[in-house]
Every structure is written in C-alpha cells, then in structure tokens.
C-alpha cells in the first residue's frame, strides 16, 4: 500500500516489516505490543517475589503494634507498586 505524500515507510527494527509512521530504529505496533506484554509479565513476577520477601521481613522484624502493622502494610503495597514500575521500565529497555 503506498504511503501518503511526504511519508516514508521504514523497516521495523525487530521484524523487518516496512511500516509507515515510525522512525528508523523503532518497532512496529505489533512488535511493541508483544514487547510490552513480555515486560509486564516479567515485571509482575518480579514484583510478587519482592513483595513476598518484603512481607516476610515485615512480619519478622516489626513490633506487633497496630501502628507498625499499618506502616508495614503501606510498605508492602508500595514495594509491589514501585518494583513493578521499575522492573517494567528496565525490561522494556533490556528485553530482546
Ligand atoms: Zn515489527
């Protein structure tokens, strides 16, 4: 299919298919979506593992008062959220 005037079709860096609307060195929409799915899977597994470790450490070390339990719960939630965010970003850069 011919591209509109002024546009050029550029090969996807991963699958090599010529696609309009991307720049050199970028991925097509299908490759980008596949990469994002893999990154999400890696990130959620890593985050679950880190959260379990954090929960075990919290239960083991914190005193058994109600305030400490509240902060422990907050820390566990924050651990899951942050580890997932950071790992997804790293995986998007590092995955082949
Ligand atoms: Zn592609």
Question: What pLDDT, in 10s, does the model give residues 2-46?
Answer: 545 556 789 999 898 998 888 888 889 999 999 999 999 999 999
Number of domains the chain is built from: 1
Ligand 1 mean position, distance from CA 27 (Å): 5
Boundaries of domain holding 68: 9-94
Whether residue 90 has pLDDT greater than 70 = yes
φ/ψ of 75, rounded to 5, equals -65, -35
Residue 40 domain-assigned (yes or no): yes
Residue 38, φ and ψ in degrees, nearest 5: -65, -40
C-alpha 16 – ligand 1 centre gap (Å): 6
> Domain for residue 4, yes or no?
no
CA 88, 93, 95: angle at the middle one, nearest 5? 85
Report how far ligand 1's centroid is from the alpha carbon of 86 (Å).
25
Residue 4 confidence (pLDDT): 54
pTM equals 0.73
User: Can you read off the two tokens belonging to residue 36?
Assistant: 């994002």
Residue the block writes with tokens 């860096």? 13
The answer as to whether 59 is a domain residue is: yes
4 CA from centroid of ligand 1 (Å): 20
- Cα-to-centroid distance, 25 and ligand 1 (Å): 11
Identify whether the C-beta of residue 25 lies closer than 8 Å to the C-beta of residue 15.
no
């Amino acid at each position: 299919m011919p591209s509109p005037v002024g546009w050029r079709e550029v090969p996807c860096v991963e699958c090599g298919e010529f696609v309009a609307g991307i720049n050199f060195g970028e991925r097509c929409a299908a490759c980008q979506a596949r990469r994002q799915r893999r990154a999400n899977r890696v990130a959620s597994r890593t985050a679950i593992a880190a959260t379990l470790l954090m929960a075990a450490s919290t239960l083991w070390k914190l005193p058994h008062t109600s305030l400490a339990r509240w902060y422990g719960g907050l820390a566990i939630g924050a651990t899951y959220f942050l580890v997932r965010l950071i790992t997804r970003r790293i995986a998007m850069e590092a995955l082949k």
